[in-house]
Copies of this chain bind each other. A is one copy, B any other.
Protein backbone atom coordinates (compact mmCIF):
# COMPACT_ATOMS: atom_id res chain seq x y z
CA UNK A 1 0.00 0.00 0.00
CA UNK A 2 1.33 3.34 -0.96
CA UNK A 3 0.02 4.98 2.25
CA UNK A 4 1.77 2.49 4.51
CA UNK A 5 4.79 4.01 6.22
CA UNK A 6 8.11 2.25 6.37
CA UNK A 7 8.23 3.18 10.08
CA UNK A 8 5.53 0.69 10.76
CA UNK A 9 7.82 -2.22 9.99
CA UNK A 10 9.44 -1.92 13.42
CA UNK A 11 6.42 -0.98 15.52
CA UNK A 12 5.03 -3.79 17.65
CA UNK A 13 1.59 -4.94 16.59
CA UNK A 14 0.64 -5.41 20.25
CA UNK A 15 -1.13 -2.44 21.83
CA UNK A 16 0.46 -0.63 24.77
CA UNK A 17 -1.50 0.46 27.83
CA UNK A 18 -0.35 3.38 29.92
CA UNK A 19 -1.40 4.94 33.25
CA UNK A 20 -0.88 8.69 33.78
CA UNK A 21 -1.45 10.15 37.24
CA UNK A 22 -3.56 13.02 38.45
CA UNK A 23 -1.63 16.05 39.64
CA UNK A 24 -1.97 18.92 42.09
CA UNK A 25 -0.82 22.26 40.64
CA UNK A 26 -0.06 25.59 42.36
CA UNK A 27 0.38 23.89 45.77
CA UNK A 28 -0.84 26.93 47.72
CA UNK A 29 1.89 29.55 47.20
CA UNK A 30 3.26 28.36 43.85
CA UNK A 31 0.70 29.59 41.32
CA UNK A 32 1.73 28.34 37.85
CA UNK A 33 5.16 27.15 39.01
CA UNK A 34 4.68 24.24 41.43
CA UNK A 35 2.96 20.88 41.01
CA UNK A 36 3.17 17.25 42.05
CA UNK A 37 1.84 13.88 40.92
CA UNK A 38 -0.19 11.43 43.01
CA UNK A 39 -0.39 7.62 42.84
CA UNK A 40 -4.03 7.73 41.86
CA UNK A 41 -6.45 8.33 40.31
CA UNK A 42 -5.04 8.35 36.81
CA UNK A 43 -6.13 8.13 33.20
CA UNK A 44 -5.47 4.97 31.19
CA UNK A 45 -4.81 4.96 27.50
CA UNK A 46 -4.40 2.04 25.12
CA UNK A 47 -2.58 2.75 21.88
CA UNK A 48 -2.01 0.46 18.93
CA UNK A 49 -0.38 1.00 15.57
CA UNK A 50 -2.66 1.01 12.54
CA UNK A 51 -1.79 0.48 8.92
CA UNK A 52 -2.45 4.00 7.67
CA UNK A 53 -1.08 7.43 8.52
CA UNK A 54 -3.82 8.71 10.79
CA UNK A 55 -4.75 9.15 14.43
CA UNK A 56 -8.07 7.69 15.48
CA UNK A 57 -9.79 7.99 18.84
CA UNK A 58 -11.80 4.80 18.97
CA UNK A 59 -13.38 5.20 22.37
CA UNK A 60 -13.40 7.39 25.47
CA UNK A 61 -14.88 6.04 28.70
CA UNK A 62 -15.63 8.03 31.82
CA UNK A 63 -15.99 11.47 30.25
CA UNK A 64 -19.81 11.40 30.14
CA UNK A 65 -19.53 12.15 26.41
CA UNK A 66 -17.88 15.50 26.98
CA UNK A 67 -14.59 15.03 25.15
CA UNK A 68 -14.41 15.37 21.35
CA UNK A 69 -13.57 12.27 19.34
CA UNK A 70 -12.11 14.48 16.60
CA UNK A 71 -8.33 13.87 16.93
CA UNK A 72 -7.56 17.46 15.89
CA UNK A 73 -9.62 18.71 18.87
CA UNK A 74 -8.74 16.18 21.55
CA UNK A 75 -5.99 16.78 24.13
CA UNK A 76 -4.78 13.21 23.79
CA UNK A 77 -4.03 13.33 20.06
CA UNK A 78 -3.03 16.96 19.44
CA UNK A 79 0.36 16.39 21.12
CA UNK A 80 0.81 13.19 19.09
CA UNK A 81 0.28 15.02 15.78
CA UNK A 82 3.00 17.51 16.77
CA UNK A 83 5.29 14.75 17.99
CA UNK A 84 4.97 12.66 14.79
CA UNK A 85 5.46 15.76 12.69
CA UNK A 86 8.66 16.60 14.58
CA UNK A 87 9.96 13.05 14.12
CA UNK A 88 8.85 13.04 10.49
CA UNK A 89 7.16 9.77 11.34
CA UNK A 90 4.39 8.60 9.03
CA UNK A 91 2.89 5.97 11.32
CA UNK A 92 -0.74 5.90 12.41
CA UNK A 93 -2.28 5.01 15.76
CA UNK A 94 -5.60 4.21 17.38
CA UNK A 95 -6.40 5.36 20.93
CA UNK A 96 -8.77 4.19 23.63
CA UNK A 97 -8.99 6.34 26.73
CA UNK A 98 -10.42 5.58 30.14
CA UNK A 99 -10.80 8.79 32.13
CA UNK A 100 -10.61 8.10 35.85
CA UNK A 101 -9.63 11.63 36.80
CA UNK A 102 -12.63 13.88 37.37
CA UNK A 103 -13.18 16.19 34.46
CA UNK A 104 -12.48 19.93 35.05
CA UNK A 105 -11.81 19.08 38.69
CA UNK A 106 -8.50 20.82 39.27
CA UNK A 107 -6.73 17.45 39.35
CA UNK A 108 -4.88 17.73 36.08
CA UNK A 109 -7.38 15.72 34.07
CA UNK A 110 -6.57 17.35 30.73
CA UNK A 111 -2.84 17.22 31.48
CA UNK A 112 -2.97 13.49 32.13
CA UNK A 113 -4.60 12.96 28.73
CA UNK A 114 -2.13 15.34 27.08
CA UNK A 115 0.71 13.28 28.48
CA UNK A 116 -0.88 9.86 27.96
CA UNK A 117 -1.03 9.81 24.16
CA UNK A 118 2.42 11.13 23.42
CA UNK A 119 4.01 9.08 26.20
CA UNK A 120 2.40 5.87 24.96
CA UNK A 121 3.30 6.46 21.31
CA UNK A 122 6.90 7.31 22.27
CA UNK A 123 7.12 4.03 24.21
CA UNK A 124 5.56 2.07 21.34
CA UNK A 125 8.13 3.54 18.94
CA UNK A 126 10.97 2.42 21.22
CA UNK A 127 11.46 5.76 22.98
CA UNK A 128 13.07 7.87 20.21
CA UNK A 129 12.78 10.92 22.51
CA UNK A 130 13.73 11.11 26.16
CA UNK A 131 10.76 11.54 28.52
CA UNK A 132 11.48 15.18 29.48
CA UNK A 133 11.63 16.07 25.78
CA UNK A 134 7.96 15.10 25.44
CA UNK A 135 6.93 18.04 27.62
CA UNK A 136 6.53 20.69 24.90
CA UNK A 137 4.24 18.32 22.94
CA UNK A 138 2.12 17.55 26.02
CA UNK A 139 1.79 21.28 26.65
CA UNK A 140 0.15 21.65 23.23
CA UNK A 141 -2.67 19.47 24.56
CA UNK A 142 -2.98 21.64 27.64
CA UNK A 143 -3.23 24.68 25.36
CA UNK A 144 -6.20 23.08 23.56
CA UNK A 145 -7.94 22.14 26.82
CA UNK A 146 -7.35 25.25 28.91
CA UNK A 147 -6.51 28.04 26.51
CA UNK A 148 -3.06 28.45 28.05
CA UNK A 149 0.00 26.24 27.93
CA UNK A 150 0.86 26.18 31.61
CA UNK A 151 3.13 23.35 32.71
CA UNK A 152 2.47 22.91 36.41
CA UNK A 153 0.18 19.91 35.84
CA UNK A 154 1.71 18.54 32.65
CA UNK A 155 5.27 18.44 34.00
CA UNK A 156 4.55 16.38 37.15
CA UNK A 157 2.14 14.14 35.17
CA UNK A 158 4.96 13.37 32.73
CA UNK A 159 7.96 13.33 35.07
CA UNK A 160 6.40 12.32 38.39
CA UNK A 161 7.40 13.78 41.74
CA UNK A 162 7.29 17.39 42.83
CA UNK A 163 8.34 19.83 40.15
CA UNK A 164 9.22 23.50 39.83
CA UNK A 165 8.54 25.30 36.57
CA UNK A 166 11.43 27.72 36.91
CA UNK A 167 10.71 29.36 33.57
CA UNK A 168 8.25 29.08 30.72
CA UNK A 169 10.44 30.79 28.15
CA UNK A 170 12.72 28.96 27.80
CA UNK A 171 10.92 26.01 29.39
CA UNK A 172 12.91 24.96 32.46
CA UNK A 173 11.59 22.23 34.73
CA UNK A 174 13.30 21.08 37.93
CA UNK A 175 12.39 18.06 40.05
CA UNK A 176 12.82 18.29 43.80
CA UNK A 177 12.98 15.63 46.47
CA UNK A 178 10.21 15.40 49.03
CA UNK A 179 9.96 13.52 52.33
CA UNK A 180 9.00 9.85 51.80
CA UNK A 181 6.26 9.86 54.40
CA UNK A 182 4.32 12.76 52.89
CA UNK A 183 0.73 11.92 52.00
CA UNK A 184 -1.74 13.81 49.89
CA UNK A 185 -5.51 13.94 50.21
CA UNK A 186 -7.57 15.27 47.33
CA UNK A 187 -11.28 15.78 47.76
CA UNK A 188 -13.22 16.44 44.59
CA UNK A 189 -16.63 18.08 44.99
CA UNK A 190 -19.20 17.38 42.27
CA UNK A 191 -19.41 20.91 40.94
CA UNK A 192 -17.99 22.28 37.73
CA UNK A 193 -15.49 25.12 37.23
CA UNK A 194 -13.60 25.44 33.97
CA UNK A 195 -9.92 26.30 34.18
CA UNK A 196 -10.39 29.04 31.61
CA UNK A 197 -13.17 30.63 33.69
CA UNK A 198 -11.28 30.39 36.95
CA UNK A 199 -8.27 32.07 35.35
CA UNK A 200 -10.44 34.99 34.26
CA UNK A 201 -11.27 35.99 37.85
CA UNK A 202 -7.63 36.43 38.81
CA UNK A 203 -6.29 39.96 39.15
CA UNK A 204 -3.98 41.08 36.33
CA UNK A 205 -1.97 43.17 38.79
CA UNK A 206 -1.08 42.49 42.39
CA UNK A 207 0.53 44.50 45.19
CA UNK A 208 4.30 44.10 45.37
CA UNK A 209 4.03 43.48 49.11
CA UNK A 210 1.63 40.58 48.51
CA UNK A 211 4.00 39.15 45.91
CA UNK A 212 6.80 39.35 48.48
CA UNK A 213 4.73 37.30 50.95
CA UNK A 214 4.09 34.76 48.22
CA UNK A 215 7.73 34.30 47.20
CA UNK A 216 8.72 34.08 50.87
CA UNK A 217 6.36 31.12 51.13
CA UNK A 218 7.62 29.60 47.86
CA UNK A 219 11.17 29.76 49.22
CA UNK A 220 9.97 28.32 52.54
CA UNK A 221 8.04 25.48 50.92
CA UNK A 222 10.94 24.40 48.70
CA UNK A 223 13.33 24.54 51.65
CA UNK A 224 10.87 22.60 53.84
CA UNK A 225 10.33 19.89 51.23
CA UNK A 226 14.04 19.47 50.52
CA UNK A 227 15.02 19.49 54.20
CA UNK A 228 12.09 17.28 55.22
CA UNK A 229 11.06 20.00 57.69
CA UNK A 230 7.35 19.34 58.17
CA UNK A 231 6.75 22.39 60.34
CA UNK A 232 8.26 24.63 57.70
CA UNK A 233 6.17 22.94 54.99
CA UNK A 234 3.09 23.60 57.11
CA UNK A 235 3.96 27.26 57.69
CA UNK A 236 4.68 27.79 53.99
CA UNK A 237 1.47 26.30 52.59
CA UNK A 238 -0.16 29.72 52.35
CA UNK A 239 -1.58 31.63 49.43
CA UNK A 240 -2.57 35.27 49.89
CA UNK A 241 -3.30 35.94 46.23
CA UNK A 242 -5.22 33.23 44.46
CA UNK A 243 -7.02 31.36 47.24
CA UNK A 244 -9.09 34.37 48.39
CA UNK A 245 -10.48 34.81 44.85
CA UNK A 246 -10.95 31.21 43.76
CA UNK A 247 -12.21 29.77 47.02
CA UNK A 248 -15.41 31.79 46.51
CA UNK A 249 -16.33 29.29 43.77
CA UNK A 250 -16.09 26.31 46.13
CA UNK A 251 -19.08 25.84 48.46
CA UNK A 252 -18.00 25.19 52.05
CA UNK A 253 -14.32 25.86 51.31
CA UNK A 254 -13.52 27.62 54.60
CA UNK A 255 -15.03 24.79 56.61
CA UNK A 256 -13.33 22.12 54.47
CA UNK A 257 -9.94 23.73 55.04
CA UNK A 258 -10.53 24.24 58.74
CA UNK A 259 -11.58 20.59 59.07
CA UNK A 260 -8.43 19.40 57.30
CA UNK A 261 -6.16 21.44 59.56
CA UNK A 262 -8.06 20.32 62.65
CA UNK A 263 -7.57 16.71 61.56
CA UNK A 264 -3.82 17.32 61.59
CA UNK A 265 -3.05 18.16 57.96
CA UNK A 266 0.11 20.21 57.38
CA UNK A 267 -1.81 22.44 55.02
CA UNK A 268 -4.85 22.55 52.81
CA UNK A 269 -5.56 24.57 49.72
CA UNK A 270 -7.19 24.58 46.30
CA UNK A 271 -5.88 21.92 43.90
CA UNK A 272 -5.01 23.65 40.63
CA UNK A 273 -7.83 25.96 39.68
CA UNK A 274 -10.30 23.96 41.78
CA UNK A 275 -12.89 22.93 42.70
CA UNK A 276 -10.88 20.02 44.17
CA UNK A 277 -9.19 20.72 47.47
CA UNK A 278 -5.93 19.06 48.51
CA UNK A 279 -4.23 18.57 51.85
CA UNK A 280 -0.73 17.35 52.68
CA UNK A 281 -0.20 15.19 55.75
CA UNK A 282 2.74 13.57 57.52
CA UNK A 283 1.26 10.04 57.62
CA UNK A 284 -1.31 7.76 56.05
CA UNK A 285 -3.30 7.70 59.28
CA UNK A 286 -3.63 11.47 59.39
CA UNK A 287 -4.45 11.46 55.67
CA UNK A 288 -7.36 9.09 56.28
CA UNK A 289 -8.70 11.20 59.13
CA UNK A 290 -8.23 14.37 57.07
CA UNK A 291 -10.10 12.91 54.11
CA UNK A 292 -13.06 11.93 56.29
CA UNK A 293 -13.25 15.38 57.87
CA UNK A 294 -12.98 17.18 54.53
CA UNK A 295 -15.67 14.96 53.03
CA UNK A 296 -17.92 15.60 56.01
CA UNK A 297 -17.46 19.36 55.61
CA UNK A 298 -18.48 19.21 51.94
CA UNK A 299 -21.39 17.04 53.05
CA UNK A 300 -22.55 19.74 55.46
CA UNK A 301 -23.20 22.04 52.50
CA UNK A 302 -24.83 19.23 50.56
CA UNK A 303 -22.02 18.72 48.04
CA UNK A 304 -21.39 15.18 46.81
CA UNK A 305 -17.69 14.42 46.72
CA UNK A 306 -14.97 11.80 46.30
CA UNK A 307 -11.72 11.55 48.24
CA UNK A 308 -8.37 10.19 47.06
CA UNK A 309 -5.44 9.40 49.32
CA UNK A 310 -1.94 8.68 48.10
CA UNK A 311 1.74 9.34 48.52
CA UNK A 312 3.58 11.60 46.12
CA UNK A 313 4.03 9.62 42.88
CA UNK A 314 7.74 9.80 42.15
CA UNK A 315 7.72 8.01 38.79
CA UNK A 316 4.93 9.54 36.72
CA UNK A 317 3.38 7.50 33.90
CA UNK A 318 3.76 3.74 33.81
CA UNK A 319 3.02 0.91 31.39
CA UNK A 320 0.30 -1.38 32.70
CA UNK A 321 -0.76 -4.84 31.56
Contacts and interface: CB of A to CB of B under 8 A. Distances in A.
B176 A223 contact: yes
Interface residues of A, number: 40
A262 B202 CA distance: 40
Contact of A202 (B29, B172, B208, B227): B208
A308 interface: no
A164 B219 contact: yes
Interface stretch (A184-192, A210-218, A272-280): A210-218
A290 to B, nearest CB: 23
A154 interface: no
Number of copies: 2
A288 B165 CA distance: 33
A234 to B, nearest CB: 11
A280 to B, nearest CB: 17
A19 B70 CA distance: 71
A216 B241 CA distance: 16
A205 interface: yes
Q: Pick from A172, A216, A232, A236 the residue with the most CB of B within 10 Å.
A: A216
Contact of A220 (B31, B172, B226): B172
A207 interface: yes
A135 to B, nearest CB: 15
Interface centre among A164, A166, A213 (most CB of B within 10 A): A166
Given A211-B214, A219-B30, A235 B166 contact: yes
Q: A213, A219, A232 — which one has the most chain B CB atoms within 10 A of its CB? A: A219
A174 interface: yes
Given A204-B207, A207-B205, A219 B222 contact: yes
A134 interface: no
A176 B214 CA distance: 18
A6 interface: no
A51 interface: no
Contacts of A216: 32-33, 164-168
A65 interface: no
Contacts of A227: 176, 226
B167 A219 contact: no
* From A174, A215, A218, residue with most partner B Cβ within 10 Å: A215
Contacts of A212: 31-33
Interface string A131-162: 00000000000000000000000000000000
A1 interface: no
A176 B220 CA distance: 10
A321 interface: no
A223 B222 contact: yes
A215 B218 contact: yes
A268 interface: no
A227 B226 CA distance: 9
Interface of A: 29-34, 164-168, 172, 174, 176, 202-208, 211-220, 222-224, 226-227, 232, 235-236, 241
9 contacts: A31-B212, A164-B216, A167-B213, A174-B232, A206-B208, A208-B241, A215-B218, A218-B218, A223-B226
